[in-house]
Amino acid sequence: MDPATAPLAGADRQRLSERERQAEGIAAVRARDVYRGRARALTDTDVAQARERVAAGVPKAAVARDLGVHRSTLHRALGR
């Protein structure tokens, strides 16, 4: 192995080991039915109300601002 790339090989092995440990930890938590992930920014009720307002002609940017989320978050939620 080239001496210049030897440290990189070590870093790759370490990162692979970290990923394996992380995957094992997540699998263990999921097995206990505790892993939930990140909470959604908008509830189903928020999305329903946003759909009504958008259908009534209110700009999506204004709806997003009123809900306290970014416009792209609202677009994603409306697509669900």
Displacement of CA 44 from its chain's centroid (Å): 17
Are residues 1 and 19 both part of a single domain?
A: yes
Q: Are residues 49 and 20 in the same domain?
A: no
- The per-residue pLDDT string of the chain (80 residues; one tens digit each, 9 = 90 and over) reads 566 666 667 788 889 899 999 999 989 988 998 877 888 999 999 999 999 999 999 999 999 999 999 999 999 999 98
28 and 3 together in one domain: yes
**Residue 3 sits in the same domain as residue 33:** yes
Q: Please check whether residues 24 and 1 belong to one and the same domain.
A: yes
Task: Please tell me the predicted confidence (pLDDT) of residue 11.
Answer: 83
Q: Are residues 30 and 62 in the same domain?
A: no
Tokens coding 80 = 């669900």
Q: Per the structure, how many domains does the chain have?
A: 2
Range of the domain at 73: 44-79
* Cα–Cα dist 77/58, whole Å: 16
Distance CA 46, CA 77 (A): 9
